[in-house]
Amino acid sequence: MKYFGWGVAAILLLIVLSLAGRACTWTSGALDTAQQEVSAKELLRKYQWFKDAAAQLDKKVADVKVYDRRVNMIENKKNATRTDQEQLYIWMSEVAGVKASYNSLAAEYNAQMSKINWAFTNVGQLPQGATTPLPREYKPYIEE
């Protein structure tokens, strides 16, 4: 009977040590992941992606304005030819593509930005060499 008690105690000790080992492994994995996600190299990579995406979004807005001016030029023309009408439809199709591309990139930008409170959107916490914070969200979606 004495050995039975020691056996139960040994089994309980093994169970407790096993659970403690699993908890340490989980904690270690969580710390490793956190360190990787907030490392300077990873933050710089993410900052560069946001900077590139913001520049692309600004370009798409400018492209839409250029197309709108072209479309208005043909629409205001008094004697528009068939060729003018064909060109108008081509430009309108291209505008729709640019707007769809803008919407897709804006959705991705906004989704990535909302996942965490990125430090490089805050004045005073920018990476070295950066001068202006990035927008926290892009105006979602061109609908016209």
- Residue 56 scores a pLDDT above 90: yes
pLDDT, tens digit, 9 for 90 and up, residues 60-74: 999 999 999 999 998
Identify whether residues 108 and 128 lie together within a single domain. yes
C-alpha 126/C-alpha 113 separation (Å) is 15
Identify whether residues 52 and 77 lie together within a single domain. yes
Read off the pLDDT of each residue in 87-107 and give the average, rounded to a whole number.
Answer: 93
Domain that holds residue 114: 40-144
Identify whether residues 20 and 55 lie together within a single domain. no
Identify whether residues 17 and 66 lie together within a single domain. no
Nearest residue to 68 via CA among 94, 39, 45: 94
- Residue 4 scores a pLDDT above 80: no
- Residue 103 scores a pLDDT above 70: yes
Read off the pLDDT of each residue in 108-136 and give the average, rounded to a whole number.
Answer: 68
C-alpha 20/C-alpha 26 separation (Å) is 10
Identify whether residues 101 and 142 lie together within a single domain. yes
Identify whether residues 123 and 66 lie together within a single domain. yes
Identify whether residues 71 and 123 lie together within a single domain. yes
Identify whether residues 127 and 97 lie together within a single domain. yes
